[in-house]
Chains A and B, each alone.
Chain A
Amino acid sequence: MKLTKIAAAAAASALALTALAACGSSDGDKADGGSDTVTLWLAGKTDTPPKVEAWLVKEFAAQHKGKNLKVQHIDWGELIPRLNTALQSDKTPDVVEVGNTQAATFTSVGAFTDLTDKLDQLGNNIGPKSFVEAGTYDGKVSAVPYYWGSRYIFYSKKAFKDAGIKVPTTLEGFDQAATQLKSDGNSKFSGFWLPGQDWRNGISWIFANGGDIAKQEGGKWVATLSSPESVKGLTELQGLYEKATTAPKDGKDAEPWTAFNNGEAAMFMAPSWARWSVDKKRAADLGGFALPGVDGGAAPVFAGGSNLGISAKSKNQDLAFDLLKLIYSDEFQQQLAKNGLGPANDKFTGLMGDDEFAKAAVSAASNSKLTPASPEWASVESASIMEEFFGKIANGGDVAAAAKAVDAKLNAALNK
């Protein structure tokens, strides 16, 4: 029958189109295997400020006649899958940036060159320590700290003044301030912008109360989100979700400044670089302080930042190490610090400035923590286990029961 044929042809071409669409996106980046070019993968488009990057490229070429440095930017969301495939191929990038909590995923399978013996060539005060630990597996250091940032509170000075609130000095004081600010505002107004699934900020309440995500016991990971300390922090956090914020209960940590820019939030918590995303018109109104701890001081926050590794498959091992040395040079470290990124060499931390933002950043970083250093942590992230758990707490779920359930999930995932 004629119609069948028409339909079959239509179907076939539709299927062919789908197939074409499916394979159209994998053109990939061409990583030159030639030894004249060193390829560096940086995460995010402008996480490393373009000016700093340009200096690196220029300086590398100047120091190495006939060689040059090629920088490629990979979006954070694509980084893990891209590294999974690129690091094992012959066209591997030579040096790559990975998020500090993602480093173990690659160090544990030997994807990076062991740098333990060469470490002193990079400097004798590489840090922060937690970042070096994040890049260490089986006693071998194969991913070194790139830069660190810390999360702190951004707030509207005007909102604080109008409500007669001073910058809080304890965590309880912070909770009260956030609750009061919300009740002063209209139904859309948040005292503290806290999306339900934003666990990277919410985790501070667990840390501050002495809880943790998981600890290592006898070679095994034991999740501790249902420990009394963690539950105490989570209960406190649930109070904030209920009384201090109007952020979506399933919201994530993307663009937390939007509500602030719209005048719909008095405070939000974010890594230091969020400062540059706040509306310029509101710059005078913007203040910053480190999230206070239970008994004053700074509460432990989740440390943000990156590590660098040399691909074990790279054919330019020496040049790649030269690049690391250049990154660790005083000049480059100074530039990082001046741009608000925590430098690996703590000699230059002071260059981050001495305004309230720099102080908040340094103070918060003094007490920062990382996720469990299990090579399986990246799987926990891609399965959104933490997001879902915090979302449940935000949505008013039973804290103890939810914590017990997520501990079981984490134990299974971390001890694979």
Chain B
Amino acid sequence: MSSTRLTRKAGPYALLVPAILVLVVGMAYPLGRQLVLSFHEFGRAQQFGQPAPWVGLDNYRELVTDRTMWTVIARSLAFCLVNASITMVVGTLVAVLMKRVATAPRLILQISMLLAWAMPVIAAMTAWQWLFDTRYGLVNWTLQKLGFNSFDGHNWLIDPLSFFFVASVIIIWMSVPFVAFTAYAALTQVSEETLEASHLDGATAIQRFRHIVYPTIKPVLTIVMLLQIVWDLRVFAQINFLQNVGGTPSETHLLGTYIYTLGIGQNDYGSASAMAMFVLVLTLALTFRYVRSLLKEEPR
């Protein structure tokens, strides 16, 4: 038995240690603590040293019987699905466009998207807030110049639906570049020969996309869709920012801002943890299908 064989056997596992450590410290511990917290009453008094009483499923019971939670969940799901779908469609279309146009416009497109993608959230949000400002906003000004006089001093955030429209515009604007770049990278892998052959055989553009291009880039689109769902479900910064600017927070809460208000805002860490557990289950349920199909395609 040589020691090299042992090292060779242990080597890969040793290399895994840092990654596992990071996962345990960064994910497992907070998750475990969250689970424990969700069964306790944990408020400000507990933060300052009082013992936290065990309340069993009380936090969960309170949430389940509270209509607010179901409204927030329904709202978040709708928001997430609408945003993720639009982002995917627009992103894919932009990718197809990039494939078609000449180099110069493509570069311009890529650079501007890269800038949008790289812009820090708060900086971008500030600019968007100015655009939609009630009194001095460019959007109102433009619409007014175009003859829509009712937009003089129009308030974009006060009505919840309008609030989510603005939020969606911003979030889609922020997420499209990632989808477009990834889909573009995938498109470059589509075999030109196959496309040419099918063209000669008389396949239309739509048929070529459906039967050749789409199956090729599908795995990529699947995983990007998965990411978009996760991201859009736990969207926080944009909503929180807009809520601070205007609108009615209690009518515009999504899961992220609701948990934040419960926990950090009202010091009800027990309920906030219970709510976060719900979100975890929800995310798993939403993405289960995608994860399974990805695992299936993984070569053994």
> Can you show 9 pairs from A to B with CB atoms below 8 A apart?
A7-B220, A8-B223, A10-B182, A88-B48, A109-B50, A248-B158, A252-B246, A383-B261, A391-B158
Give chain A interface residues in 71-127, CB to chain B under 8 Å.
81, 84-85, 87-88, 105, 109-111
Q: Tell me, in angstroms, the Cα distance from A33 to B230 when the chains sit together.
A: 41
**Is B250 among interface residues, defined by CB-CB distance under 8 A?**
yes
Q: CB < 8 Å: which of A3, A187, A246, A395 contacts B158? A: A395
Q: Is the CB of B49 within 8 A of A88?
A: yes
Q: Which residue of B lies closest to A375 (CB)?
A: B44
Residues from chain A with Cβ under 8 Å of B44 in the complex: 84, 105, 109, 375
- Across the interface, name the chain A residue whose C-beta is closest to B183: A7
CB distance from B279 to the nearest CB of A (A): 15
B294-A4 in contact (CB<8A): yes
- Listed stretches A11-19, A236-244, A274-282, A324-332; interface member: A11-19
Indicate if the CB atoms of B219 and A88 lie closer than 8 Å: no
**Which of B3-11, B89-97, B263-271 faces chain A?**
B263-271
Q: CB distance A7 to B155 under 8 Å? A: no
Q: A15-B227, A84-B44, A383-B250 are in contact. Are A188 and B220 (CB under 8 A)?
A: no
Establish whether residues B266 and A382, one from each chain, have CB atoms under 8 Å apart when the complex forms. yes
Q: In whole angstroms, what is the CA distance A84 to B297 when docked?
A: 48
Q: How many residues of A contact B (CB 8 A)?
A: 46
| Apart from the given pairs A3-B219, A187-B152, 13 other A-B contacts in the complex at a CB distance below 8 Å | A3-B217, A7-B186, A10-B185, A11-B224, A15-B227, A84-B44, A110-B48, A246-B153, A248-B135, A248-B155, A249-B155, A375-B44, A388-B249
B202: interface (CB < 8 Å):
no
Contact B250 A111 (CB under 8 A): no
A216 contacts B by Cβ under 8 Å: no
> Is A263 in contact with chain B by the CB < 8 A criterion?
no
When the two chains form their complex, are residues B185 and A379 in contact, meaning their CB atoms are under 8 A apart?
no
A250 in contact (CB, < 8 A): yes
Closest chain-B Cβ to A231's Cβ sits at a distance in Å of 21
A380 to B283 alpha-carbon distance, docked (Å): 30
Q: Does A284 reach chain B (CB closer than 8 Å)?
A: no
* B26 at the A interface (CB under 8 A): yes
Closest B residue to A246 by CB, please name it. B153
Is B150 engaged at the interface, CB distance under 8 Å to the other chain?
A: no
Residues of A close to B265: CB separation below 8 A? 379, 382-383
Q: Mark B99-118, 1 if CB is under 8 A from A, else 0.
A: 00000000000000000000
Q: Chain A 249-278 against B: per-residue CB contact (8 Å), 1 yes, 0 no?
A: 111100000010000100000000000000
When distances are taken between beta carbons in the complex, the residues of chain B under 8 Å from A85 are 47
How distant is B219 from chain A, measured CB to nearest CB, in Å? 4
Cross-chain contact B26 with A19 (CB below 8 angstroms): yes
